[in-house]
Amino acid sequence: MSTRVAVVTGSNKGIGLAIVRALCKQFQGDVYLTSRDIGRGQEAVASLTSEGLKPMFQQLDINDLNSITTAAAYFKEKYGGVDVLINNAGIAFKVADTTPFAIEAEVTLKTNFFATRDMLIHFLPLIKPGGRVVNVSSNSGLRALNQCSPALQQRFRIEDITEDELVGLMQQFVDKTKKEEHKKDGWPETAYGVSKLGLTTLSMIQARRLSKERPNDGILLNACCPGWVRTDMAGPKATKSPDEGAVTPVYLALLPPGATGPHGKFVSEKEVQPW
């Protein structure tokens, strides 16, 4: 049998680094720490190596299609595919940031929704039977959903929303912030929340598609919230350590062989949440 492989995006620091640490201890196979910056990635590898762990490294900037396709080709060539993919890379503007909201919306959705979707476009076909895919989303996405107009909420919640429709809605939000029309048209005033609302909805759509198109492959794909975690993103007042924040993503990544769920769910504290 070929060596199994797990890949974690944005894992040079924060929750991603803690996920790699946990997988190095618990996953039977090669674990890849990936980062957009090679120097920061190699420093992170060195720090885990000094803990006695053996992560591997691959450069991966999810905003760079060339980087995504190069990495995808590498994993296909070396391992024949990927067993575990954790889409953890993400960004958030600080509350105090004075960047105009329309730019914040464009930049935040670019990474958290559109670039993560690019990862899925290129990596989902590589996921091996029995594979696990985890999209690190946020409770902020659920809060943003509940702040949308009833009409928008219904569109996000209907079971037959298509990926094209979702992509159109996310683009619409960005476009409407430019004309300052997003609030009037039922959107909340949170770019990060909308980006994660999009990512969770995308996870549900893609899980349904996997069940339909690869019914016998037993792949489980979920979105999750890691909790409020002390990282550069959330700051020192957050309640969880990065290792504690890694618990739910790692639980979903290591759902045992033959498990039939959760699949296509939003999971927080290892529990499926209502959507």
Active site residues per annotation: 192
From 4, 16, 33, 222, residue interacting with ligand NDP (rule: CB under 6 A): 16
55 binds ligand NDP (CB under 6 A): no
For residue 119, CA distances in Å to 134, 141, 266 come to: 12, 20, 19
Nearest CA to 24 out of 269, 246, 231 is that of: 246
Cα separation of 44 and 55, whole Å?
9
Cα separation of 76 and 60, whole Å?
15
Give the per-residue contact string, 98-117, with ligand NDP (x = CB under 6 A; - = no): -------------x---x--
From 3, 25, 29, 37, residue interacting with ligand NDP (rule: CB under 6 A): 37
Q: Which is nearer to ligand NDP, 8 or 166 (CB)?
A: 8
131 binds ligand NDP (CB under 6 A): no
61 binds ligand NDP (CB under 6 A): yes
91 binds ligand NDP (CB under 6 A): yes
Entry field: residues in the chain: 275
Cα separation of 239 and 259, whole Å?
31
Give me the residues paired with residue 36 across strands. Answer: none
Asked if 245 and 18 count as a contact pair (C-beta separation under 8 A), the reply is yes
Give me the residues paired with residue 82 across strands. Answer: 127
225 binds ligand NDP (CB under 6 A): yes
Q: Which is nearer to ligand NDP, 116 or 177 (CB)?
A: 116
200 binds ligand NDP (CB under 6 A): no
From 101, 228, 251, 275, residue interacting with ligand NDP (rule: CB under 6 A): 228
Q: Which is nearer to ligand NDP, 135 or 218 (CB)?
A: 135
Stretch of 34-42, 156-164, 178-186, 250-258 lying at the interface with ligand NDP (CB under 6 A) = 34-42
Give 188: exposed, middle or buried? Use CB within 10 Å, 0-12, 13-18, 19+: buried
Residue count at the site for ligand NDP (CB under 6 A)? 32
Pairing relationship of beta strands 271-273 and 266-268 according to DSSP bridges? antiparallel
Shortest Å, Cβ 58 to ligand NDP: 11
CB atoms inside a 10 Å sphere around CB 91: 15
136 binds ligand NDP (CB under 6 A): yes
Give 214: exposed, middle or buried? Use CB within 10 Å, 0-12, 13-18, 19+: middle
40 binds ligand NDP (CB under 6 A): yes
Contacting residues toward ligand NDP, per CB under 6 A: 9-10, 12-16, 35-37, 40, 61-63, 88-92, 111, 115, 136, 138, 225-226, 228-229, 231-234, 238
